[in-house]
Chains A and B, each alone.
Chain A
Amino acid sequence: MQSLMNAELKRINTMSRKLLLEKAHVEGIRHYDVYRREGGYRSVEKALKMQPNDIVEEVKKSGLRGRGGAGFPTGMKWSFLAKPDGVPRYLVCNADESEPGTFKDRYLMEFIPHILIEGMIVASYALGSNNIYIYIRGEYDWITDILEEAIAEAKQNGWLGKNIQGSGFDCEMYVQRGAGAYICGEETALLESLEGKRGNPRIKPPFPAIKGLWGCPTVVNNVETLAAVVPIINEGAEEYAKIGIGKSTGTKLISACGNINKPGIYEIDMTISVEEFIYSDEYCGGIPNGKKLKACIPGGSSVPILPANLLLTTAKGEKRLMNYESLSDGGFATGSMMGSGGFIVLDEDQCIVKHTYTLARFYRHESCGQCSPCREGTGWMEKILLSIEKGKGKMSDIDLLWDIQRKIEGNTICPLGDAAAWPVAAAIRHFRDEFEWHVNNPDKCLTENFGLRHYADPIHVPV
Chain B
Amino acid sequence: MIQFKEASLIKVKEIIARYPPEKQKSALLPVLHLAQVEFGGWLDVPVMDYVASILNIEPIEVYEVASFYSMYNLKPVGKHVFEVCQTGPCMLNGSDNIIEYIKQKLNIGVGETTIDGMFTLKTVECLGACGYAPMMQLGKIYREHLTKEKVDAIIDECRAKAN
Contact = CB atoms under 8 A, between A and B. Distances in A.
Interface of A: 88, 97-103, 106, 133, 137-142, 172, 174, 176-182, 193-199, 214, 255-259, 263-265, 297, 301, 342, 344, 346, 350, 354-355, 358-359, 361-362, 365-366, 368
B29 A103 contact: no
B64 interface: yes
Interface in B124-141: 124-133, 137, 140-141
Interface of B: 18, 20, 23, 25-30, 32-33, 55, 57, 61, 64-65, 68-72, 86-89, 91-93, 124-133, 137, 140-141
Given A139-B137, A346-B92, A362 B70 contact: no
A257 B128 CA distance: 11
B42 to A, nearest CB: 13
A362 B161 CA distance: 34
A106 B128 contact: yes
B130 A196 contact: no
B87 A362 contact: yes
A174 B18 contact: yes
A176 B86 contact: no
A181 B68 contact: yes
A99 B125 CA distance: 10
A179 B87 contact: no
A214 B23 contact: yes
Contacts of B124: 180
Given A195-B26, A198-B68, A362 B128 contact: no
Given A358-B87, A358-B91, A196 B131 contact: no
Given A196-B29, A361-B87, 11 more contacts: A101-B130, A138-B29, A172-B18, A174-B18, A179-B69, A180-B124, A195-B26, A297-B88, A358-B91, A362-B87, A366-B125
B72 A255 contact: no
B29 A97 contact: no
Given A181-B68, A196-B27, A358 B86 contact: yes
6 contacts: A101-B89, A138-B29, A180-B70, A255-B130, A258-B89, A258-B130
